[in-house]
Structure 1
Amino acid sequence: MGKFREISICVALAVSQVSAAAAQEGRLTVELNKFESAEGGGCRAFFLFRNETGMALEQFEMSLAVLDQGGVIDRLLTIDAAPLPAHRTTLKLFEIPGLGCDAVSEILMHDIPACKPQNADPVDCYSFLSLSSKASARLVE
């Protein structure tokens, strides 16, 4: 039983090291690409996820704070962007209900509640995350 336990620990360490090494290969870029008015006065946000980490992410959630033109937090949103295949760019659309696009000055990524590569333990996405924006609002952490 002792040998089996040692092998299991070695396998777990090897998987963690492979995940960490893969994360060092590249970045996960989250780009707020554009806004578009949605029905009912809301705003549709287009995000591009460029996953150059070498890991397919089966879980990736972002907690976002949406700030109005005065810099005041208008609302908090949690978005599930998974799955994010490795070495691919993925487009995801998210609705910000009841708030016009011109009312958004900034989107703050204040937490990543879930970041898990396929067939591996969760990882710290902040270590390889990069944010950018081409929209009228900034995307910051």
Structure 2
Amino acid sequence: MRYLTILAGCLAAGLALAPAAHAQDGGLTVELNKFEEIDGGGCRAFFLFRNATKTGFDGFEMSLAILDKNGVIDRLLSIDAAPLPVARTTLKLFEIPETSCANISEILLHELTSCRPQNAEEMDCFPILTLNSKTSAALVK
């Protein structure tokens, strides 16, 4: 009887961890795909989110530091990219006000303020995250 209680406890613990483990089966790629100058000033950034995990994300928020051509932090920007459906690529556009695209040398992902798989608790997504950029600015963590 005691063995069954321990076994049931282990199974319950395994099921509780299943969403986080499930999310790590594949990877999540964030790509800075394109910059576009905004009339009147500012820069529009096109991000592609490639969710190759086995779960969707109801929450995915990033805090970014925008560095200028001298490597100095120009501003902080918080973006909400959720939802990120399972096995899909999602395009999200974000505006960086009062900053020319040509003046951005690097975008630093310094914090994931939310990474919440569907029907699960927040998790640390840094281990499953890959960043890349097709622009003149690097996207780094």
More helix by share: 1
Q: How does the TM-score come out when normalised to structure 1?
A: 0.89
Q: Greater CA radius of gyration, 1 or 2? A: 2
Q: Which residue of 2 aligns with 1:83?
A: 83
Q: Which residue of 2 aligns with 1:116?
A: 116
Q: Which residue of 1 aligns with 2:96?
A: 96
CA distance in 2, matches of 1:135, 1:106: 10
Long gaps (5+) in structure 1: 1-6
Q: What RMSD in Å do the two structures reach over aligned CA positions? A: 1.6
Any idea what SS the aligned residue of 1:132 has? strand
Contact 2:23 2:117 in 1 (8 A): no
CA distance in 2, matches of 1:19, 1:105: 37
Identity %: 60
4+ long deviations beyond 6 Å: none
- What letter matches 1:15 in structure 2? A
CA distance in 1, matches of 2:15, 2:104: 44
Query: Which structure 2 residues correspond to residues 11-26 of structure 1 after superposition, within 5 A?
Result: 11=12, 13-16=14-17, 18-26=18-26
CA distance in 1, matches of 2:31, 2:51: 11
Any idea what SS the aligned residue of 1:41 has? coil
How far the C-alpha of 1:20 sits from its partner, in A, is: 3.0
Q: How does the TM-score come out when normalised to structure 2?
A: 0.89
Long gaps (5+) in structure 2: 1-7
Q: Which residue of 2 aligns with 1:54?
A: 54
